[in-house]
Amino acid sequence: MNPWTALAAIIVGYIFGAVSFTRILGRWVLPGDDLSGVDVQLGKGTLRFDRTSASLISLKRGPGYGCLTGLLDMAKAAIPVLVFKLMFPDHDYEFFTAAAAVVGHNYPIFHRFRGGAGMSPYLGGLAVLDWPAVPVVTVLGAFSGALSRNVVISYISGVVWLFPWFWWRQSGWEAFVYATAVNIAVWPTIWPVMKDLNRMQKAGEIDRKEAMKLLTRGHPSLNRDKYLPE
């Protein structure tokens, strides 16, 4: 493995990931609006969602624009990952690109390192790296959450299942570097929201279905007027 090529893969992935489609689309569909966060009414409580992501666009402008933002965030990771995968088929540089795209999305240098939660670019990159992993780790994460009856586990534990998945696939060390980087990038950004959701769920302020509906980007039944306080 050439360290300079690996470094290039990281830089390219980070730059692509740091492009904020939430802000780009937000200037068009939400001119002059605050894109740093939104207060969400859930049952008897109010949740502060403070990530600049597709979920924010979905809540403020509707699921159609939220889906579009999410797809663009997936593509900005998938495209450079695919390029490195095709250019260097005998090496695994694309794992570095995929990891860096998630880091760039969550900590974009162009926006004072304040970005999203990383789930869309994570799924976009993983779809190119190892597409069967996407449904498998997602289902395993949901199953883990169902067993624990915990919305936090349901939403995010799929990234943890990357480790046994790559072990089962007998992947190289690059895959485990990728899995580690994704977990380190994703958990700190989403944990405050997850912790509040878990607290509200345990207190009986919301139920698990409402919390999962909120967290599902572009959910067709999402009614933003229901979740945004006047």
pLDDT, position 53: 79
* pLDDT band at residue 73 using 50, 70 and 90 as cut-offs: very high
Q: Do the domain assignments include residue 230?
A: no
In terms of pLDDT, which residue wins out, 27 or 37?
Answer: 27
Q: Do the domain assignments include residue 135?
A: yes
pLDDT, position 156: 73
Q: Mind listing the pLDDT tens digit for each residue in 74-92?
A: 999 999 999 999 999 989 9
**C-alpha–C-alpha distance, residues 40 and 20, integer Å:** 22
Token pair listed for 94: 């694309």
**C-alpha–C-alpha distance, residues 71 and 88, integer Å:** 26
Mean pLDDT of 201-221: 57
Q: Do the domain assignments include residue 130?
A: yes
pLDDT, position 135: 92
Query: Would the pLDDT of 184 be above 90?
Result: yes
Q: Do the domain assignments include residue 177?
A: yes
Q: Is there a contact between 16 and 177 (Cβ–Cβ < 8 Å)? A: no
Query: Would the pLDDT of 225 be above 60?
Result: no
Cα–Cα–Cα angle for 77, 210, 39, rounded to 5 degrees = 70
Domain extent at residue 64: 3-221
Pick from 49, 46, 38, 55: nearest CA to 203: 46
- Range from 29-38, 54-63, 137-146, 215-224 carrying the lowest mean pLDDT: 215-224
State the average pLDDT for the chain.
Answer: 82
Q: Is there a contact between 92 and 176 (Cβ–Cβ < 8 Å)? A: no
Q: Which helix (H) or strand (E) holds 48?
A: strand 45-49
Mean pLDDT of 193-220: 63
pLDDT, position 43: 62
What does residue 73 show for φ and ψ, rounded to 5 degrees?
Answer: -65, -35
* pLDDT band at residue 134 using 50, 70 and 90 as cut-offs: very high
Q: Is there a contact between 179 and 162 (Cβ–Cβ < 8 Å)? A: yes
Q: Which helix (H) or strand (E) holds 38?
A: strand 38-42
% the chain with pLDDT above 70: 78
Mean pLDDT of 161-171: 93
Q: Do the domain assignments include residue 227?
A: no
Cα–Cα–Cα angle for 207, 199, 162, rounded to 5 degrees = 85
Distance of CA 220 to the CA centre of its chain: 19
**C-alpha–C-alpha distance, residues 97 and 94, integer Å:** 5
Q: Do the domain assignments include residue 226?
A: no
Q: Do the domain assignments include residue 64?
A: yes
Q: Do the domain assignments include residue 228?
A: no
**C-alpha–C-alpha distance, residues 105 and 96, integer Å:** 14
% the chain with pLDDT above 90: 40
pTM of the model: 0.83
Which residues make Cβ contacts (< 8 Å) with residue 5, sequence separation at least 6? 88, 91, 93
In terms of pLDDT, which residue wins out, 225 or 80?
Answer: 80
* pLDDT band at residue 205 using 50, 70 and 90 as cut-offs: low
Residue 46: beta bridge partners? 41
Q: How many domains does the chain have?
A: 1
Q: Mind listing the pLDDT tens digit for each residue in 95-125?
A: 999 999 999 999 999 888 888 888 899 999 9
**C-alpha–C-alpha distance, residues 100 and 89, integer Å:** 19
